Amino acid sequence: APLRSPGVAGMRSFLRAVARDVKSGLAALHPGSRAGYASERQVVARERTAVTAKLWEDRLAQARASGGVLEAATQSQETLVAKPPTRSSIRYGFVGDAGLLEAYRNPWNAVRVGRVMEDLDSLAGNIAFLHCDDANRNTRPQLLVTASVDRVRLLRKLSLEEDVVLSGAVAWVGNSSMVIRMEAWPATHPDAPTGDLREDDAGDKNKKVKEDSNPKESESESPSPKYSPGPSLSADFTFVARDAVTNKAAAVNSLLPGTETEKALFASTAKRVEHKKKRLKLLKAGDQGLSETLQLAKRTFVESVTRETRTRKELPSLASADAILSTTTKTENIFVAQPQQRNLSGRIFGGFLLRRAFELAFATSYVFGGSRPNFKSVRDMDFLKPVDVGDLLRFKARVLHVDFDHGKDNKVSSHDNTQCVDVEVECFVTRPEMVTSEVSNTFLFTFFVDSQNGHTTKRVLPNSKEDAAHVWERCVRPRIDTETDYGR
C-alpha cells in the first residue's frame, strides 16, 4: 500500500515513489501474482457467497449507471451532497431455497455466522458507496476502505428454519469517515425493516437490493410474543473514504437524519466515536490516562496473575491444576491470498479475512473448552493495513482470558454452567523475500463455552507481566470501566 507521512509534500512524494518501487520489486519476485489486479476488469469470483456476489454485481451496475467508472471519470468529487439515511436490506430465503440453506448451514444445522459476517461487510460497503455517490458522471468514485468493525453482538440465534433479513443504513458521518449500523432480523419479526427483498432474491443475481428511505420506526409496533425486542445481530462498520488516484482522505457527503430514531442513533454513534478517540489517546498515555480506581484495579490484576504465572513456570508440579498459560492455547493457519478473494478494488476482501479469523477463533475456543462454543460478540476488530493478492497470510489465535462471572449473560445456550472465553486473533502479512512480517488485522472474539461431561473450563494465565497488562486492557477493563464507556 502507498506509504503516508505527516511531513512536507516533497517527502510524501518521495515515500510514494519508494512504495511504488517496492511494489514493483515484489511483483518481479512473484511474476503474474501481484501486478495488475487493482486495475483489472472488475468481476465477482464464484468463491463469494450468493448474497455477496449479488450485492457486488448490484454495486457495479449502480456505478456504471451513475457514470462512476474510474477509467471514464476525470475529476475528483468536490461538491458534497447532503443525504438522508437510506436503508438497504436483503433477505435470506432459507425456507424456500434449499440451495441457499445448504450454503449457509454449519455441521450443527445452524447458520454459519462467518458467512453472514462476509455478507454484512458487503452490504455495508454497498450502503457506503450509495451514500458517497454524487450522481455525477465526470467524478470518479471514492475508494471506500473498511477501517474497523465494532460492537458485533449476537443477541439471538440465527435460525435456518426461518428467513433472515440483513439490513443497514448510515448512522453517522464525519469529515472523511462514516459508521454503518448493520443488523440481522428474523424476517417475520414485527420490527424487521421494510424494503427487503422477497424470499428468493438472495439467490437471484438479476435483482437489485431495494432501498427504503423511510424505514419503519422500530417503536411503532411492539414485538409479538415469539420474539424478544431488537435485532438478532447488530454491528457497526466504520469506512474511510480516499481519493482513488491521489490516495488522500476524501470528504464524504453529510448525513441528514430525519426521524427521531435516526437522530437518536446519530447522536449515540457520535458519542461512541468520541469515546473511541478518547480511548486511543488513553492507550497512548499508558497508566497516566487511567483514574486512580482503574490504576489500582490494573495493578492488582497484573501483580496477581504475574505471580501465579511465575509459579506455573518455576514450580509446575506444585502449581494450581485449574490454570494454564495462554501460550498453550495457541493455534494458527497460514495460506497465500488468492486472486479469487479480492474485492472490487483489487485488494483482498475484508469480509473474507473476517470469516477466516472467526472460524479460527471458533476452533480455538472449541479445542480449549471441550464443548461447542456459542458466539457472543466481536470487539476491537481493526483493519490496520491492506492485504494484496499474493500476500502470505498467517492467522494466529490464542485464548486471552476466561470470565467466569458473565456466563449468566448467555442468551444463546440453555446451559447454566457457562463461561465467557476471549480469543484474540492477529493476521500477519508475511513477505519472506523482504524478511518482514506486519500485523494487518486484529480481532477479539468472545464465545460462551459450557462445562459439560464433568469437564471444567480452566483459567488462562498471561505469559509475562507485559502480557498481563495487555490482557487487562483487552479483556478485563471493558467489563469494569464505566467511566469512559470503554469497549462497549
Q: Copy the grid coordinates of residue 143.
A: 475508494
Question: 39-48, 76-85, 153-162, 260-269 — which is least confidently predicted?
Answer: 39-48
Across the beta sheet with 210-212, the strand order is: 210-212, 87-92, 164-173, 177-186, 233-242, 143-154, 374-383, 436-450, 418-431, 392-403, 331-336
Q: What is the pLDDT of residue 383?
A: 86
Q: Is the dihedral of CA 25, 145, 341, 343 positive or negative?
A: negative
Q: Name 234's bridge partners.
A: 153, 183
Instruction: Report the distance separating Cα 184 and Cα 164, nearest Å.
Output: 7
Q: At 309, phi and psi to the nearest 5?
A: -65, -40
Residues 178 and 80 sit within 8 Å (Cβ to Cβ) = no
Mean pLDDT of the chain: 80
Mean pLDDT of 59-79: 65
Let me know: does 341 contact 45? Beta carbons within 8 Å. yes
Q: How far apart are CA 358 and CA 425, in angstroms?
A: 8
Decide: 49 and 101 in contact? Cβ < 8 Å.
Answer: no
Burial label for 15, CB within 10 Å (0-12, 13-18, 19+), is middle
Least confident of 11-25, 92-106, 311-325, 334-348: 11-25
What span, in angstroms and rounded, lies between the C-alpha atoms of 426 and 92? 31
Which grid cell sits at 3? 506509504
Give the angle subtended at the CA of 109 by the CAs of 103 and 110, to the nearest 5°: 80
Residue 358 carries which side chain, given as an amino acid letter? F
Please tell me the predicted confidence (pLDDT) of residue 67. 54
**Residue 429 pLDDT more than 70?**
yes
Cα separation, 341 vs 169, in Å, equals: 26
**139, β-bridge pairs:** 75
Mean pLDDT for the stretch of residues 315-332: 93
Instruction: Please state the φ and ψ torsions of residue 103, each to the nearest 5 degrees.
Output: -70, -25
What pLDDT digit, counting tens, does each position of 248-288 carry?
888 999 999 999 999 999 999 999 888 888 877 777 777 77
Which pLDDT score, from 0 to 100, does residue 211 have?
Answer: 44
Cβ atoms < 10 Å from Cβ of 136: 16
Question: Measuring CA to CA, which residue among 323, 318, 303, 218 is closest to residue 262?
Answer: 218
pLDDT in tens, 464-474: 999 999 999 99
Question: Grid coordinates 500477519 are at which residue?
Answer: 428
Is the pLDDT higher at 392 or at 482?
A: 392
Q: Considering the entire predicted model, what is its pTM?
A: 0.81
**pLDDT value at residue 114:** 92
The yes-or-no verdict on residue 12 having pLDDT over 70 is: no
Lowest average pLDDT, out of 118-122, 361-365, 419-423, 483-487, goes to: 483-487
Instruction: Report helix, strand and coil shares of the chain as percent, to nearest 5.
Output: 35, 25, 40
Distance CA 167, CA 127 (A): 10
The torsion angle over the Cα atoms of residues 107, 447, 437 and 387, rounded to 10 degrees, is 60
Q: Are strands 177-186 and 143-154 parallel, antiparallel or unpaired?
A: unpaired
- Per the model's pLDDT, the better-predicted residue between 143 and 169 turns out to be 169
pLDDT score at 417: 72
- Taking a C-beta distance cutoff of 8 angstroms, is the pair 442, 466 a contact? no
DSSP characters over 220-242: GSPPPTTS-SS-SEEEEEEEEEE
Can you give the pLDDT at residue 406?
64
Those residues with Cβ within 8 angstroms of residue 75's Cβ, 6 or more apart along the chain or in another chain: 136, 138, 139, 140
CB-CB contact of 213 with 84 (8 Å): yes
More confident residue, 416 or 100: 100
